[in-house]
Structure 1
Amino acid sequence: MYKNILVPVSFEADRNAKGAMEIATALCGEGGAITCLHVIEQLPQYAMQYLPPGHLEGAKAEMVETLKSLVADVDNATAVVVDGHASRTILDFAEKNAVDLIIVASHQPGMQDYLLGSTAAKVVRHAKCAVHVLR
């Protein structure tokens, strides 16, 4: 069983965040912790000028509330929202917080994934801990 599990969550329609949390709960050892993480991609500065004032803060608050509802019934689970590049931020967070398992929900790969690579694929290739991919 694992002691420190990270569940990165994307709010895209084809991701199974609830299923990832169920797996995390099943694999979490006694006294273990689960962190549900959402990474808000950084927008280019030129795009920021077109957003209404307070939009990013409001979006971040909404994400926090959505994550809190996802972890509400899970013991020792916390919700964290951070800014950054998805795969790099997930990997950095896992390393800095001594995560021993990352559970990432993925989609069926398409052509764009073969050319650019998906977040899940990058996490699988570069993580220094175990990674469980949920499809």
Structure 2
Amino acid sequence: MYKNILVPVSFEADRNAQGAMEIAKTLRADGGAITCLHVIEQLPQYATQYLPAGHLEKAKAEVVENLKSLVADVDNATAHVVDGHASRTILKYAENNGVDLIIIASHQPEMQDYLLGSTAAKVVRHAKCAVHVLR
């Protein structure tokens, strides 16, 4: 069983955030903690100028509400939203916070993932703790 579990959450249609939370609850030791983390990728400056005013703030607020609903009925679970590059930020958060298990939902890999690498693949390759991938 694991004492400090990180569940990176993406709200893309083919990711199973709820399934990852169920696995986290099952694998968590008595008294253990679960952290849901959503990383907002930073857009280039030239792209943000074309977005409607307040769009990024509204999107972030929506993410926060979705994360809160994931952890609402889970004891000792918290939710965090951070800015950064997805895989690097997940790995850094895990290392800085003593995470002993990362549970990450992934999609079925396509050719582009083999060439570039998905977030889950990068986390699996570089994490210094156990990683459970959910498809």
Q: Please state which band the TM-score falls in when normalised by the shorter chain.
A: over 0.9
Match of 1:86 in 2: 86
CA separation in 1, counterparts of 2:89 and 2:31? 26
Q: What is residue 30 of structure 1 aligned with on the other side? A: 30
Written as runs of structure 1 = structure 2, the 5 A alignment for 1:92-107 is 92-107=92-107
1:13 counterpart residue number:
13
The whole-number CA distance in structure 1 between the counterparts of 2:96 and 2:53 is 33
Q: Provide the rounded CA distance (Å) in 2 between the counterparts of 1:82 and 1:60.
A: 10
Match of 2:69 in 1: 69
Q: What TM-score comes out, normalization by structure 1 length?
A: 0.98
In 2, Cα distance between the equivalents of 1:59 and 1:15?
18
The structural deviation recorded for 1:55 is 1.3
Structure 1 unaligned spans of 5+:
none
> What amino acid sits opposite 2:25 in the alignment?
T
What root-mean-square deviation, in Å, do the aligned CA atoms of Structure 1 and Structure 2 show? 0.6
1:43 aligns to what SS in structure 2? coil
Give the C-alpha shift of residue 48 in structure 1: 1.0
Q: Please list every run of at least 4 consecutive aligned residues from structure 1 whose deviation after the TM superposition is greater than 4 angstroms.
A: none
Count of aligned residue pairs for this structure pair:
135
Instruction: Using the TM superposition, give the Cα deviation of residue 52 of structure 1 relative to its aligned residue in structure 2, in angstroms.
Output: 1.8
Q: Look up the SS of the partner of 1:107 in the other structure.
A: coil
CA separation in 1, counterparts of 2:55 and 2:12? 19
Normalising by structure 2, we get a TM-score of: 0.98
Distance 2:6 2:131 in 1: 9
- Which shows bigger deviation, 51-60 or 73-82? 51-60
In the TM superposition, residue 7 of structure 1 has moved relative to its aligned partner by 0.2
The residue aligned with 2:57 is: 57
Which stretches in structure 2 are left out of the alignment for 5+ residues? none
